[in-house]
Structure 1
Amino acid sequence: MRAWQLEDFGLDNLVLKETPTPKPGPGEILVKVTAVSLNYRDKAIVDGAYDPDKMPKNLIPVSDAAGVVAEVGPGVTEFKPGDRVMSHLYSHWLDGAPARDEPDYCLGLPLNGGLAEYMILEASSAVPTPAHLTDEQASTLPIAALTAWFALVEYGRLEAGQTVLVQGTGGVSLFAVQLANALGARVIATSSSDEKLQRVAEMGAQELINYRTTPDWAERARELTDGQGVDQVIEVVGGDGINQSVHATRAAGHISLIGFLGGQVAPLDVLPLLFSQVQIRGIAVGHRRAFLEMNEFIEKQGIEPVIDTVYGFEDAHQAYEHLARGAFGKIVIRVTD
């Protein structure tokens, strides 16, 4: 099969090669990969900025994949050849609280991912594809959609009528807008682009804040909630901005810390956090049970992912470069027909 392999850190070291097609062992399935989608994690892995000590030799990157079961290994009863499936990032995190070693079983690092014509998945962690989605659309769900769902629903217990502030217009943020809107919540969206804010409004965001023209966006969020603050913040920037998120959140509200675009270190003003009793929780995607529940909701609501651009398999470098520039929605790579 053809597979993109990361021979060393840096995009120039991501090389398309011929490599033996793997065979499924006990409890495993071989998936013919149709499409993959890129996340910021995938870029950080190539750049050597994400858990570099865990990178094996000739890693096949990219965790989020959709395709068709080509072969099943001994003992597999959950799937059969021809079934449409998706990958699940934390391949051993099926339900409940995460184990300390969950990152050791992540696809795309340290385990091989889906930027190849075939990939191996454990049958217990693979997830059926929602019937109304194409494989290109389905490939966007494993990290971006599940992260938003886990923050809003599994952790945040979002209710109709509550208010959610969503930062930016990346993959997780757009799914958060779609899911929160479908759940009956009021959505406040922030971005530095009025054009992107208008597009988010068309997706259901009721209030818009351009944080470039309104640097004190947290105070504006308080004004939009009668001084109380929002019920939940989807925090994708991190860094210094975490303190504004605390200010924007109501007493005893929730902040889901998802991204680290603003840096991997965040200086925190402790007293405002103590006085407001706001909860900050790191969200590292979610477990398979939540994935299944989210898919049921997505299918029932008819939610379709927002895709910016679909690249061909040979154009993986251009896809990564587009991700680095920024996109409105997901960057997808079509692997096979």
Structure 2
Amino acid sequence: MSSTSIPKTTQAWTVQGKDGFDSLKFDQATPVPKVSDYEVLVKLHAASLNYRDLIIPKGKYPFAQADGVVPGSDGAGEVIAVGSKVTRFKNGAKVVTLFNQGHLGGSLNPQTGATGLGGVIDGTLRQYGIFNENGLVDMPASLNWLEGSTLSCAALTAWNALYGLKPLQPGQTVLTQGTGGVSIFAVQFAKAAGATVIATTSSVKKAEVLKKLGADHVINYRDETEWGTKAKELTLNKEGVDHIVEVGGPPTLAQSFNAIKIDGVISIIGFLGGVGKEKQPSFLEPLNHICNLRGVLVGNRVQFEDMNRAIEINKIKPVVDDKVFALADAKEAYQYMWDQKHFGKLTIKIE
């Protein structure tokens, strides 16, 4: 795209305040700044939503955020202009956004942890966006725009959970919870690695989908309230699960401890079950069960690139909800997801 055809304005959402979804404001003529030396201009074709996006306008996000920010961490698009010193991408490159723009490798630190896209840095719910070249990765060629837009948060979080501390090995066992984006990606990655997968759900219909995705065992946690013990009984010699992707928080953590193997890893990636008045597990539980308990906040660019290679090699296709929203209807998409009407990743097509 020539400089004369680069747009001067873009349609974009912003988060103005913390009054719920009414804090989402749509502007049809936001100025597009000029590309500086190390930046690229991306024509975004798709974005996807995460639970984090829903709680930011509600004022419930526990990490850094800025008022007036363009929301959305996940997006896929095409590079249409590059700065004079950009070396990683050329015009026409298909790219996906990195969640924490400064988290290129290794562990998070206070500086890289404060570079969240859609939190403190303008995100993906817009037609055109300027990003530092280091905050993007090549999109897997096997995916379309909607599928590519699902990788930045949920997929990378699942990958980090399985490979960030003690890398998953073939023949090990993974326990996932529910059918949210992270859990579904964890099922797919674990099966591709040759692991045995135990999944939990409360829905017969969703249980069938989990089996089609590769889950070896599905436990209905409403019928089997002691599902952690049940999961352990399903493992080799009943020794327990090697990796647990923990999404529920306090209401489910006790069962995860019941399921975990000695030296196994429980990766806490969310608290969808809330933080109510139920008894919370003691900090001594990791000692009592001789296991590793870790919090996971997405992952770094090196992990992202490793994950994308695995997606290509294993022909993994992200699970995308049948309903796709237009950019102008993003507020309705937020409500649709908040009402838990989606299955897999909820995407927004950007034209």
TM-score higher than 0.5 here?
yes
- Residue aligning to 2:293: 280
Aligned equivalents of 1:86, 1:325: Cα separation in 2? 27
- Residue aligning to 2:306: 293
TM-score (norm 2): 0.92
Q: Which amino acid aligns with 2:13?
A: W
Deviations 1:10-50 (A, max 9, x none): 11121210210122212111111100000011111121100
Report matched runs for 1:84-95 at 5 Å. 84-95=94-105
Aligned equivalents of 2:116, 2:65: Cα separation in 1? 11
- Residue aligning to 2:106: 96
Q: Is the 8 A contact 1:64 1:86 kept in 2?
A: yes
Q: Which amino acid aligns with 2:311?
A: I
Indicate the RMSD between aligned Cα atoms, in angstroms: 1.5
Q: Which amino acid aligns with 1:173?
A: S
- Residue aligning to 1:241: 252
For the pair 1:202 / 2:212, whether they are aligned, the reply is yes
Aligned equivalents of 1:56, 1:141: Cα separation in 2? 23
Deviations 1:195-226 (A, max 9, x none): 10110001100001010111111111122124
For the pair 1:335 / 2:350, whether they are aligned, the reply is yes
SS in 2 for 1:318: helix
For the pair 1:4 / 2:19, whether they are aligned, the reply is no
SS in 2 for 1:46: coil
SS in 1 for 2:280: coil
1:55 to 1:250, Cα distance in 2 relative to 1, 3 A: closer
For the pair 1:325 / 2:339, whether they are aligned, the reply is yes
Q: Is the 8 A contact 1:22 1:30 kept in 2?
A: no
Q: Which amino acid aligns with 2:48?
A: S
Report matched runs for 1:13-92 at 5 Å. 13-17=23-27, 18-51=29-62, 54-92=64-102
Aligned equivalents of 1:212, 1:318: Cα separation in 2? 30
Q: Paired residue for 1:119, among 115, 129, 152?
A: 129
Shift of 1:264: 5.0
Q: Which amino acid aligns with 2:339?
A: R
Segment of structure 1 superposing worse, 195-204 or 236-245: 236-245
Q: Is the 8 A contact 2:191 2:197 kept in 1?
A: yes
Q: Which amino acid aligns with 1:149?
A: W
Instruction: Point out where structure 2 has 5 or more consecutive residues left out of the alignment.
Output: 1-9
Deviations 1:119-155 (A, max 9, x none): 1211012101111111110000011111111111232
SS in 1 for 2:294: strand
Q: Is the 8 A contact 1:32 1:68 kept in 2?
A: yes
Aligned equivalents of 1:274, 1:59: Cα separation in 2? 42
Q: Which amino acid aligns with 2:291?
A: V
1:129 to 1:208, Cα distance in 2 relative to 1, 3 A: same
Q: Is the 8 A contact 1:243 1:269 kept in 2?
A: no
Shift of 1:319: 1.0
Aligned residues: 335
Percent identical pairs in the alignment equals: 42
Q: Paired residue for 1:316, among 286, 305, 330?
A: 330
Shift of 1:101: 2.2
Segment of structure 1 superposing worse, 96-105 or 208-217: 96-105
Q: Is the 8 A contact 1:247 1:272 kept in 2?
A: no
TM-score (norm 1): 0.96
SS in 2 for 1:33: strand
Shift of 1:192: 1.1
Q: Is the 8 A contact 1:189 1:200 kept in 2?
A: yes
Aligned equivalents of 1:128, 1:229: Cα separation in 2? 37
1:239 to 1:272, Cα distance in 2 relative to 1, 3 A: closer
- Residue aligning to 2:268: 257
Deviations 1:165-202 (A, max 9, x none): 00010000000000000100000000111110110001
Instruction: Point out where structure 1 has 5 or more consecutive residues left out of the alignment.
Output: none
Aligned equivalents of 1:247, 1:300: Cα separation in 2? 35
Shift of 1:272: 4.0
Q: Which amino acid aligns with 2:266?
A: I
Q: Paired residue for 1:222, among 212, 229, 232?
A: 232
For the pair 1:144 / 2:154, whether they are aligned, the reply is yes
Aligned equivalents of 2:178, 2:224: Cα separation in 1? 14
Q: Which amino acid aligns with 2:317?
A: E
Stretches of 4+ aligned residues off by more than 4 angstroms: none
Q: Which amino acid aligns with 1:279?
A: N
